[in-house]
């Protein structure tokens, strides 16, 4: 069967969920071959194999950690030249998109970024994107070369599909450009214990209606009851109520969770651009005319200071 390359996003061998989602999509196209760069391939191989990777190509070298992007492009190109895949799937992170674009240029292929679904017909992969602030859904295919596709988190379920996952060494020779941009320092983000916003299955957000930083613990409590990430509108972020890293929208993070709960958010187009592809949308807003109600699956017209604590209490009581 034809093989499909999947670039693995991991932290020292701990595979991140979007990669497992890519394996689900890759299996629709052919046999997934995972490309694992950096340390921890043996740990990762078990998980990758459990989710359908027939092979795990691995390379480890200091260049991957010391220099930006290009060493990884050299490696995925080496994997491409070794495997001759029918498609290459890459996570739609900032780094993933840069790697994918550089790879596509090098191998003379078309690229589609920020896919929210990948299906296959007799002519190969057909990619769904949500574009123009999610106002349109497009379906397209790469017409030239091996399709290089970056896929947004939460675009496919994680499925168990046991396969061999056999680890094979990938030989990579680094190009002259590989050492062009050196990383001079790293500062780990402070951990909140909550899931990463862009990857979370559930996001609970607060907007101007939250009224102040001192009230955001209300939003956090609901998020914690659901095991969710916390988001915020730009109005809340600009007011200094919540850190910018949590802003959802056109100039913030794009999220596509299974469930998005908007509290005290009006639903401006720039906010919608970041969350409109969420599978189920719930809003709590005291104004029944708020535009957010145009796109919700469930809406509660009410004061969030009354509704949100009741919701949190109800969820907690059902977990007890
Ligand atoms: P508001 O629009 O003020 O809405 C607050 C809502 O809270 C109202 O609907 C109100 O009825 C409700 N409310 C008030 N009190 C309560 C209560 N007690 N209980 C329940 N409901 C209550 N915005 C983003 O979010 N993300 C972006 O990335 C982004 N990028 C932008 C880029 C550009 C170039 C521009 C021009 C704007 C951008 N914006 C962005 C801003 C956007 O246009 C809106 O101003 C912003 O989204 C409004 O935030 P909000 O919904 O929290 O506030």
Residues 179-211: tens digit of each pLDDT: 999 999 999 878 889 999 988 999 999 999 999
pLDDT in tens, 213-270: 999 999 999 999 999 999 999 999 999 999 999 999 999 998 989 999 999 999 999 9
- pLDDT on residue 131: 83
Is 134 a residue whose pLDDT tops 80? Answer: no
- pLDDT on residue 192: 85
Is 25 a residue whose pLDDT tops 90? Answer: yes
Ligand 1 atom 48 nearest Cα: 235
DSSP symbols for 264-287: S----HHHHTTTTT-SEEEEEES-
What's the mean pLDDT in 102-112? 98
- C-alpha 49 – ligand 1 centre gap (Å): 44
- C-alpha 270 – ligand 1 centre gap (Å): 9
Q: Could you tell me the pLDDT band of residue 136, with boundaries at 50, 70 and 90? A: confident
**297 C-beta closer than 6 A to ligand 1:** no
- Mutation choice for ligand 1 from 197, 208, 301, CB with most ligand atoms inside 8 A: 208
Is 117 a residue whose pLDDT tops 80? Answer: yes
CA distances from 309 to 125, 132, 222, 246, 255 (A): 45, 35, 7, 21, 24
Is 1 a residue whose pLDDT tops 80? Answer: no
**226 C-beta closer than 6 A to ligand 1:** no
- pLDDT on residue 173: 95
- pLDDT on residue 255: 92
Residue 102: name the closest of 80, 74, 79 by CA.
74
Buried b (16+ CB within 10 A) or exposed e, 55-94: bbbbbbbebbeebebbbbbbbbbbbbebbebbbbbbbbbe
**218 C-beta closer than 6 A to ligand 1:** no
Q: Could you tell me the pLDDT band of residue 127, with boundaries at 50, 70 and 90? A: very high
**265 C-beta closer than 6 A to ligand 1:** yes
pTM of the model: 0.84
**206 C-beta closer than 6 A to ligand 1:** no
**299 C-beta closer than 6 A to ligand 1:** no
Q: 189 vs 32, which has greater pLDDT?
A: 32
- Mutation choice for ligand 1 from 203, 215, 255, 285, CB with most ligand atoms inside 8 A: 285
* Helical segments of 194-294, H only: 216-226, 234-238, 269-272
The structural domains of the chain, ordered by start, are 3-179 (3.40.50.620), 197-319 (3.40.50.1220)
**258 C-beta closer than 6 A to ligand 1:** no
Is 24 a residue whose pLDDT tops 90? Answer: yes
What's the mean pLDDT in 64-92? 97
- pLDDT on residue 189: 78
Ligand 1 atom 28 nearest Cα: 249
- C-alpha 303 – ligand 1 centre gap (Å): 16
**18 C-beta closer than 6 A to ligand 1:** no
Is 13 a residue whose pLDDT tops 80? Answer: yes
- C-alpha 292 – ligand 1 centre gap (Å): 10
- C-alpha 272 – ligand 1 centre gap (Å): 10
**270 C-beta closer than 6 A to ligand 1:** yes
pLDDT in tens, 155-184: 999 999 999 999 999 999 999 999 999 999
Mean pLDDT of the chain, nearest integer: 96
Ligand 1 atom 2 nearest Cα: 266
pLDDT in tens, 274-315: 999 899 999 999 999 999 999 999 999 999 999 999 999 999
Nearest-atom number in ligand 1 for the CA of 250 is 28
**76 C-beta closer than 6 A to ligand 1:** no
Nearest-atom number in ligand 1 for the CA of 233 is 25
């Amino acid at each position: 069967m034809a093989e499909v390359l999947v670039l693995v996003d991991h932290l020292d061998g701990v595979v991140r969920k979007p990669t497992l989602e890519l394996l689900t999509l890759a299996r629709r196209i052919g046999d997934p071959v995972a490309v694992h760069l950096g340390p921890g391939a043996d740990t990762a191989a078990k998980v990758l194999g459990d989710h359908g990777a027939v092979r795990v190509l691995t390379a480890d070298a200091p260049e991957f950690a010391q220099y930006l992007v290009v060493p990884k492009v050299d490696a995925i190109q080496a994997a491409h030249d070794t495997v001759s895949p029918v498609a290459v799937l890459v996570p739609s992170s900032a780094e993933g998109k840069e790697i994918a674009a550089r790879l596509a240029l090098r191998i003379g292929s078309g690229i589609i970024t920020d896919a929210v679904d990948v299906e296959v017909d007799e002519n190969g992969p057909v990619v769904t994107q949500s574009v123009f602030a999610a106002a349109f859904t497009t379906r397209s295919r790469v017409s030239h070369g091996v399709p290089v596709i970056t896929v947004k988190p939460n675009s496919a379920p994680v499925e168990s599909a046991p396969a061999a996952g056999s680890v094979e060494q990938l030989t990579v020779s680094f190009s002259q450009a590989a050492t062009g941009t050196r990383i001079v320092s790293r500062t780990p983000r402070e951990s909140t214990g909550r899931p990463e916003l862009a990857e979370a299955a559930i996001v609970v957000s607060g907007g101007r209606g939250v009224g102040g930083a001192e009230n955001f613990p209300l939003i956090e409590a609901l998020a914690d009851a659901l095991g969710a990430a916390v988001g915020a509108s730009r109005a809340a972020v600009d007011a200094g109520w919540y850190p910018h890293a949590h802003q959802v929208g056109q100039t913030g993070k794009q999220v596509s969770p299974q469930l998005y709960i908007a509290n005290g958010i009006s639903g401006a187009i720039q906010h919608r651009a970041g969350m409109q592809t969420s599978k189920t949308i719930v809003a709590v807003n005291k104004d029944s005319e708020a535009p957010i109600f145009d796109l919700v699956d469930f809406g509660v017209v009410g004061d969030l200071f009354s509704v949100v604590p009741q919701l949190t209490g109800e969820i907690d009581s059902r977990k007890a």
